[in-house]
């Protein structure tokens, strides 16, 4: 397919990165892409949906991935997958011989292997400059579910109306299922059976970079997991942090051991992010070296420093996030044209094993099977009666509503067009009646 035609299909069908920040996929199609890379590394602990989807849909996914490579004129298509995902690797090997320009790159079970910058280096040896985009190094990255959504748009004429979500943690029956966009977190969690704790808390997106949510929050195009934990779990306590207390703890306890910096994945790739220096300057209100604060823009917020590295249990990642937000609000922009230092020779010996990370987080007992259900599973056990579809589920401008209150809509119908600039369409995820339309969301009552 010609590139502009494919871009139009992806934009109109609302395809964005199915995880992370939700970057519109059509904008990644670029003739500069020498390598396209498929991310099957499940960056966060406990997530299983990408490997499960690959096991079941390898033929369609590889065919679509090859089509994307041909459209952009890439010389090579690489599938980055952890070697421990044996069933998914076997499924890929069954079909990959049909694509001579495609190869598998087996990866270690280390965190954050699914981070885009880390994955690119592991799979291609290319280093993305601090603050740079992969395309600058001739690389475009797509995750497994995103490629599958491209397949559905091209071959099934189906826009993005639903999302694969793993529901794990303190639930009776951990499960991975496809649910309509806009379904509430509470309704989706109910498909995993009863909740086993009296005071449950929902962690959405993963234990390291995910956020706390209520049962009334909703599934978006980037929701990969709902982790149900007890209110008293140490990870939940850390998420419910107090920035002022974190600073005081840093001032009293940070011993400048530099472990946070030594184990920082971005620092190991030559990016000028040094959490130990930030902690020293922030805790002591020392603003002599402004680069310490400006370089926080290059933090990926993977959370390894505060959830694994720090022997004192301090919060570098969270404090860095606070400072980055403050700088952005003040109109400060990231440093431009920063070149990375050489990759650290010690990098290979300072990877964080995922198994040890799960143990440190107190999550090992939740790493169990969460079987992937058939695509229409949620309809057979109807628990979803209303959806609240956000108009901004992606980087860029929110979509513009095209329906009014009281309108009858069909599943898959476009209910919001792409706005000017970087934006994608939004579609009804159920049949029903439009109950409410605002600048932020559209509510549909199911029929």
Residue 7 and residue 168 in contact, taking contact as beta carbons nearer than 8 Å: no
Q: CA-CA distance, 366 to 281, in Å (whole number)?
A: 38
Q: CA-CA distance, 71 to 9, in Å (whole number)?
A: 13
Q: How many residues does the chain have?
A: 447
* Domains, the chain, with CATH or none: 3-155 (3.40.50.11540), 161-233+362-381 (3.10.20), 243-353 (no CATH), 385-447 (2.40.50.100)
Q: Which of 25, 167, 27, 100 is nearest to 39 (CA)?
A: 25
State the CB neighbour count (10 A cutoff) for residue 243.
13
Q: What pLDDT score does 123 carry? A: 97
Q: What pLDDT score does 91 carry? A: 98
Residue 187 and residue 165 in contact, taking contact as beta carbons nearer than 8 Å: no
Q: What pLDDT score does 379 carry? A: 82
Residue 251 and residue 326 in contact, taking contact as beta carbons nearer than 8 Å: no
- Residue 445 main-chain phi, psi, to 5 deg: -90, 125
Whole-model pTM: value is 0.96
10-residue mean pLDDT series, the chain (447 residues): 95 94 95 97 92 97 98 97 97 98 97 96 97 96 97 97 97 96 96 94 94 96 96 93 91 95 97 96 91 95 96 95 94 93 95 96 96 89 90 95 97 97 97 97 95
């Amino acid at each position: 397919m010609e590139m502009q035609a494919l871009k139009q299909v992806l934009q109109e069908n609302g395809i964005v990165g199915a995880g992370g920040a939700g970057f519109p996929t059509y904008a990644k199609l670029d003739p500069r892409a020498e390598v396209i890379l498929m991310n099957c590394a499940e960056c966060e602990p406990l997530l299983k949906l990408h490997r499960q989807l690959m096991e079941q849909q390898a033929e369609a996914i590889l065919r679509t991935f090859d089509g994307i490579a041909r459209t952009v004129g890439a010389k090579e298509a690489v599938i980055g997958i952890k070697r421990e995902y044996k069933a998914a690797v076997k499924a890929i090997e069954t079909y990959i011989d049909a694509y001579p320009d495609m190869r598998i790159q087996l990866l270690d079970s280390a965190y954050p292997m699914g981070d885009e910058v880390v994955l690119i280096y592991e799979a291609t040896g290319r280093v993305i400059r601090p603050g740079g985009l992969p395309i600058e190094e001739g690389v475009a990255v797509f995750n497994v579910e995103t490629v599958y959504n491209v397949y559905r748009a091209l071959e099934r004429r189906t826009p993005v109306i639903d999302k694969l979500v793993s529901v794990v943690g303190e639930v009776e029956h951990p499960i991975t299922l496809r649910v309509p966009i806009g379904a509430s977190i509470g309704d989706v969690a109910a498909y995993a059976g009863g909740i086993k704790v009296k005071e449950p808390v929902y962690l959405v997106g993963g234990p390291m970079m995910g956020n706390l949510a209520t049962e009334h929050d909703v599934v978006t195009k980037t929701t990969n997991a709902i982790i149900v934990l007890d209110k008293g779990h140490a990870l939940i306590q850390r998420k419910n942090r107090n920035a002022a207390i974190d600073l005081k703890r840093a001032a009293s306890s940070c011993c400048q051991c530099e472990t946070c910096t030594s184990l920082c994945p971005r620092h190991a790739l030559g990016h000028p992010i040094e959490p130990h220096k930030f902690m020293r300057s922030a805790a002591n209100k020392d603003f002599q070296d402004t680069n310490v604060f400006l370089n926080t823009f290059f933090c990926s917020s993977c959370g390894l420093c505060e959830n694994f590295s720090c022997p004192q249990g301090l919060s570098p990642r969270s404090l860095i996030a606070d400072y980055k937000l403050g700088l952005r609000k003040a109109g400060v922009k990231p440093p431009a044209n920063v070149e990375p230092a050489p990759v650290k020779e010690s990098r290979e010996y300072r990877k964080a094993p995922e198994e040890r990370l799960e143990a440190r987080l107190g999550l090992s007992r939740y790493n169990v099977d969460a079987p992937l259900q058939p695509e229409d599973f949620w309809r057979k056990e109807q628990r979803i009666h209303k959806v609240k579809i956000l108009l901004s589920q992606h980087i860029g401008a929110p979509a513009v509503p095209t329906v009014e209150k009281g309108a009858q809509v069909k599943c898959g119908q476009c209910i919001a067009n792409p706005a000017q600039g970087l934006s994608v369409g939004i579609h009804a995820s159920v049949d029903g009646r439009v109950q409410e339309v605002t600048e932020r969301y559209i509510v549909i009552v199911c029929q």
